[in-house]
Amino acid sequence: MRSFSRPFRRLVARASAATCMSEPLKNGAFGPRSPRLFQALARPSLCFLLAIMPSACLVTSVPEYDEPAQTPPFLVAAKAAPDIREFVFVLDGEQRIDFSAAVLSEDRGEPVHVALYIDYGQENAAGNPFKRSLAAFPTIPPGTLSEGARDFNVSWYLDSDDVSHGCHSITMMVTHEFDFRNCPMRLADSSHLVWNILRCPSKESCAIDPAKECPNSAGPSLIACPSESPGPDAGAGGGGQ
């Protein structure tokens, strides 16, 4: 086997250590190339990368979102109390009956108004589609659909608005605006729930079967608030009484 002298082997080792990114130093050794060479190579590469980047990656403005449109207030029947599927017995001596529900709506800053109608669908002497209306309730503050259903409650005071013994109904109506007689300005901007009432001296004295003998408060023959309010000059009496 042929052998090489020690100076020759040292020269070969130095040559193999030199790479494309190295250059000889003054003392004969090899080291990294100068920073100027790196800059000369990096600038064209950076320009090439910027040129091939898609323009969609550049955010030129902040997106604008439209405010959601106002929706009619919707009463959630599942959260109503008392249960609207059962008759509510109102007995002598009771002074107040509480009704609670939840409303779901996009209000655009407008509060939701609440009214209770006694025997909604039966025309009174003033030509209104209820025997009596109760609307002196606090409004529900404006909300949004993202907040979910908002709970509220109102009360019927019997000492001032009692009814005769027998079958009746209490209707809860919500809307963004009532007219002069406590009907919604637009019926499409409303929602309602109905409780069937049995007014008795006592629960034991109610000799009738309300499921058979009390009228259906949702019957198609009953009158209702108009789809659009006719305005205060339409001739109907005000106040809803």
Interatomic CA distance for residues 195 and 49, integer angstroms: 71
Residue 38: per-residue pLDDT: 47
Interatomic CA distance for residues 112 and 118, integer angstroms: 20
| Longest Cα separation, the chain | 130
User: How does strand 190-200 pair with strand 88-91?
Assistant: parallel
Interatomic CA distance for residues 241 and 226, integer angstroms: 17
User: For 124-161, how does the pLDDT look when each residue is reduced to its tens digit (9 = 90+)?
Assistant: 999 999 999 998 899 999 999 999 999 999 999 999 99
For the sheet containing 150-157, what is the strand order? 74-75, 96-104, 150-157
Determine whether 133 is exposed, middle or buried from the number of CB atoms within 10 Å of its CB (0-12, 13-18, 19+): buried
Residue 237: per-residue pLDDT: 40
Domain 74-213 superfamily per CATH: Immunoglobulins (2.60.40.10)
What 3-state class would DSSP assign to 114? strand
Task: Return the structure tokens found at 46.
Answer: 């950076």
What 3-state class would DSSP assign to 139? coil
User: How does strand 166-175 pair with strand 113-118?
Assistant: antiparallel
118 has a pLDDT exceeding 90: yes
User: How does strand 132-134 pair with strand 113-118?
Assistant: antiparallel
Q: Tell me if 134 sits within 8 A of 119, measured CB to CB.
A: no
Which of the 8 DSSP states describes residue 20? Answer: T
Which of the 8 DSSP states describes residue 188? Answer: G
Domain ranges in the chain? 6-51, 74-213
Q: Is the dihedral of CA 206, 211, 215, 216 positive or negative?
A: positive
12 has a pLDDT exceeding 80: no
pTM for this prediction: 0.69
Q: Which residue has the higher pLDDT, 61 or 192?
A: 192
Q: Tell me if 5 sits within 8 A of 13, measured CB to CB.
A: no
Q: Which residue has the higher pLDDT, 78 or 214?
A: 78
- Mean pLDDT is lowest, of 139-143, 154-158, 162-166, 230-234, for 230-234
- What pLDDT band is residue 189 in, cutting at 50, 70 and 90? very high
